[in-house]
Amino acid sequence: MSFNVAIDGPAGAGKSTIARACAEKTGFLYVDTGAMYRAIGLYFLDQGIDIRDEEACREHLDEISVRIAYEEGLQQIYLNDENVSARIRTQEAGEAASVTSAYKAVREKLLELQRKTASENDVIMDGRDIGTTILPEAELKIYLTASSEERARRRYKELLEKGQEASLDDIQKEIEERDYRDMHREISPLKMAEDAVLVDSSDMTISEVTETIIALIEERKGEPAEEPACEQPEKNAERSTDKQPGKSAEQPTDEPAEKTPGNQRTNCRNEKQKERAAGA
Ligand code: DC
């Protein structure tokens, strides 16, 4: 049986960098589901289909084939046999993905591909609804976030380093608009799964976040009998109340978690793991 790790969170929280680093260390397959939505968004842009017209997008979905392949260890995205891995990385493709990923038919098209990949491989899959919808039985779920200010600063720095002009205010506004759209759509909105571990990367380095997640993977992969029991039920209960959708999913970026390890991770095993430990 495969071991699946779900990493969800808002745009710019560092999901793909972290997921890729964790995949490298564990040997798991890294699956970037955002890239799949971007490929579909790109098709609509290429064909001049109005991305705001749900019916038109739905009608053209059958013309689209999205495939992921791994070449020299790197995920490549093919759109109707064209490698679009570079072309999907534009602001426009991200915007088109954010708009059209709200459509039921678009989500249904990708659901099977994502589930099949996870059933056949140990994966670290990142996206928006992996822990809540695609892999509700994932062995480990992470909700990775950072304040919108910090995410905007990171993006701004990235663009300046590439020699591109940018406005920090505009970037933050775009990030907040994208968060709002991703969190408020009707189908599979971005929200933290109840049994996910919250990791706020605002004040953490990439290697700190990677190490935190690797430690969690190792803990969950360990023999159930050796796993620590739920140590602080009251504290965890409080944290999970903090993470109710209305609070954590709609405002996760404005409420950086405290940076103590206890607040970045939950020590309590989830119900599924408890059942396993009990031999179910
Ligand atoms: O992670 P990203 O920025 O590459 O994702 C682009 C868009 O795709 C994002 O704004 C929302 C959508 N998306 C989604 O709806 N569900 C996913 N599992 C992944 C991405």
Give the integer Cα–Cα distance in Å for 163 and 47: 30
**How crowded is the C-beta side of 246, counted as CA atoms within 13 Å?**
1
Is ligand 1 within 6 A of the CB of residue 128? yes
Contacts of 163 (CB under 8 A, 6+ apart): none
This prediction has a pTM of 0.79
Mutate to test the pocket of ligand 1, among 99, 101, 108, 110 (most ligand atoms within 8 A of CB): 101
Q: Which atom of ligand 1 is the closest one to the Cα of 16?
A: 1
Whether 94 lines ligand 1, by a CB cut-off of 6 Å, is yes
E strand or H helix at 177: helix 168-184
Residue 107 in contact with ligand 1 by CB distance below 6 A: no
Ligand 1 and 202: CB distance under 6 A? no
pLDDT of residue 227: 44
Residue 275: what pLDDT? 36
**Domains identified in the chain and CATH numbers:** 1-28+122-280 (3.40.50.300), 33-120 (3.40.50.300)
Decide if 217 contacts 22 (C-beta within 8 A).
yes
Confidence at residue 72, expressed as pLDDT on a 0 to 100 scale: 85
Q: Is 178 in the pocket of ligand 1 (CB under 6 A)?
A: yes
d(CA 124, CA 140): 9
Burial (Cβ within 10 Å: 0-12, 13-18, ≥19) of residue 224: middle
Ligand 1 atom closest to Cα of residue 37:
8
Query: Residue 135 and residue 140: Cα distance in Å, rounded?
Result: 10
pLDDT computed for residue 58 by the predictor: 98
- Hey, what are 153's tokens? 């600063």
Distance 128 CA to ligand 1 centre (A): 6
For the CA of 130, the closest atom of ligand 1 is 18
103 Rama sector, left if φ>0, alpha if ψ -120 to 50, beta otherwise: beta
- pLDDT of res. 1: 84
> Looking at ligand 1, which residue's alpha carbon is closest to its atom 10?
98
Other C-beta atoms lying within 10 Å of the C-beta of residue 91:
10
Q: Output the tens digit of pLDDT for each of the chain's 280 residues.
A: 899 999 999 998 999 999 999 999 999 999 999 999 999 999 999 999 999 999 999 999 999 999 999 998 788 999 999 999 999 999 899 999 999 999 999 999 999 999 999 999 999 999 999 999 999 999 999 999 999 999 999 999 988 998 988 899 999 999 999 999 999 999 999 999 999 999 999 999 999 999 999 999 999 998 454 444 333 333 333 333 333 332 233 333 333 333 333 333 433 333 333 333 333 2
The residue assigned the tokens 């954010």 is 98
Report the atom number in ligand 1 closest to the C-alpha of 134.
Answer: 18
Q: Can you give the pLDDT at residue 162?
A: 87
Is the CB–ligand 1 distance for residue 189 below 6 Å?
no
Residue 182 Cβ contacting ligand 1 at under 6 Å? yes
User: How many angstroms separate the alpha carbon of residue 93 from the centre of ligand 1?
Assistant: 10
Query: What is the CB neighbour count within 10 angstroms for residue 122?
Result: 18
